[in-house]
Amino acid sequence: MTKRVAILISGSGSNMVSLVKSMTGDHPARAALVLSNNPDAAGLAKAQALGIPTKVIDHRPFGKDRAGFEGALLTAVTDAQPDIICLAGFMRILTPDFIAAWEGKMLNIHPSLLPKYKGLNTHARTIAAGDREHGCSVHEVTAELDGGPVLGQTIIDVAADDTAESLAARLLPLEHDLYAKVLRRFAAGDRSKIITRA
């Protein structure tokens, strides 16, 4: 049975595009929905151009009512009957209740070598720390922010003249490759780790 994948985005959606494009041929999954909390996310038009149904659940009208937002999010996601949820640049923190409903079925891409640099500004923090290596991670989503089991990592060297911007630019295409590879394995029931040095 082909698995159905819902992809949650907030911005440009380049990882989403890579995932959607990867799910062809004998791939065990297909994209069923692209959902954004941001009505202005550039990724929405990209998903539509790829023929994927899109939905927007704008978090702003909910204000501090996080449970209300997540209730609407959960309904929208559940309607698409996904087997797997991929967070791809989705910049809202999910509550443990939402995560519990999808634990073991939800992946995220994060621009650091987890467990280093959970949260935001990962490239700048890498430079500030003087690290010689950086990278990206795909992990299962658990209640601990950016803390679930790592399923794949791509490692790059940090050059003396690197900046947060140059690291981000070099890493993004590697994120695309890694996420597509991990999703393919995950959809086939394979949770073995993929570690690559670029």
Which residues are at the interface with ligand GAR (CB under 6 A)?
A: 9, 11-15, 43, 88-89, 109-111, 172, 175
Whichever of 72 and 87 has its CB closer to ligand GAR, that residue is 87
What is the SS3 assignment for 12?
coil
d(Cα 92, Cα 187) in Å, to the nearest integer?
Answer: 24
Least distance in angstroms from the C-beta of 89 to ligand GAR: 3
Residue 58 Rama label (left phi>0; alpha psi -120 to 50; beta): beta
Whichever of 141 and 187 has its CB closer to ligand GAR, that residue is 141
CA angle (123 as vertex; 119, 128 as ends), nearest 5: 100
Alpha carbon separation from 163 to 78, 118, 122, 123, 132 (Å, rounded): 41, 19, 12, 8, 12
Catalytic residue check, 176? no
Whichever of 1 and 120 has its CB closer to ligand GAR, that residue is 120
Q: Look up tokens 């670029």; give the residue.
A: 198
Whichever of 58 and 81 has its CB closer to ligand GAR, that residue is 58
CB 120 within 8 A of CB 168: no
Least distance in angstroms from the C-beta of 74 to ligand GAR: 20
Catalytic residue of the set 27, 59, 110, 139:
110
Least distance in angstroms from the C-beta of 120 to ligand GAR: 7
CB 30 within 8 A of CB 2: yes
Least distance in angstroms from the C-beta of 68 to ligand GAR: 23
* Catalytic residue positions, numbered: 110
